[in-house]
């Protein structure tokens, strides 16, 4: 009798833990409705030059242009934008070329400024290096 009760308890636990279908999925669909693509344009010249523009009805967009760099690499510049929870939008502009990847946006964190004593120590160290002073 004890094993029957344990088996029924395990069966009940499995039923409660199983994924729920129906209403919860419908609620999830209503919270995250499908996104319509408003614009999707792509151009590829086949020689490293290209252009790409994408825009969705939820405010997400991206625009990118590629071109051949001075060393034969593919350079890119562009921007992307997405909505924030408060209803505003974040936009990031970027360049990727011979000098690396550089992004600009007020939403990208920046390091804290160095304290005055650290700046003074760096200045002293540069002065010592210029005079040929080396520390081991």
For the stretch 84-129, pLDDT in tens is 999 899 999 999 999 899 999 988 888 888 899 999 999 999 999 9
The more confident residue out of 6 and 50 is 50
pLDDT-derived band at 60 (thresholds 50, 70, 90) equals: very high
pLDDT-derived band at 29 (thresholds 50, 70, 90) equals: low
Task: Report how far apart, in Å, the C-alpha atoms of 118 and of each of 23, 123, 130 are.
Answer: 60, 9, 18
What pLDDT score does 73 carry? 85
pLDDT at 1 over 80: no
Domain borders along the chain are 36-107
Tokens of 78: 């562009």
Chain segment 67-78, per-residue pLDDT in tens? 998 888 889 999
The more confident residue out of 54 and 8 is 54
pLDDT-derived band at 39 (thresholds 50, 70, 90) equals: very high
What pLDDT score does 4 carry? 47
pLDDT at 11 over 60: no
Contacts of 96 (CB under 8 A, 6+ apart): 75, 76, 77, 102
What pLDDT score does 6 carry? 61
Using CB atoms within 10 Å of the CB of residue 94, give its burial: 0 to 12 exposed, 13 to 18 middle, 19+ buried.
middle
């Amino acid at each position: 009798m004890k094993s029957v009760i344990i088996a029924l308890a395990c069966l009940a636990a499995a039923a409660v833990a199983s994924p729920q279908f129906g209403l919860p999925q419908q609620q999830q669909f209503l919270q995250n409705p499908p996104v319509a693509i408003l614009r999707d344009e792509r151009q590829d010249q086949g020689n490293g030059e290209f252009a790409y523009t994408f825009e969705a009805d939820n405010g997400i967009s991206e625009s990118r242009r590629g071109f051949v760099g001075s060393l034969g690499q593919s350079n890119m510049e562009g921007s992307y934008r997405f909505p924030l929870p408060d209803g505003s939008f974040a936009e990031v502009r970027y360049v990727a070329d011979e000098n690396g990847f550089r992004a600009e946006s007020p939403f990208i964190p920046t390091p804290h400024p160095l304290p005055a004593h650290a700046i003074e120590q760096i200045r002293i160290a540069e002065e010592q290096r210029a005079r040929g002073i080396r520390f081991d």
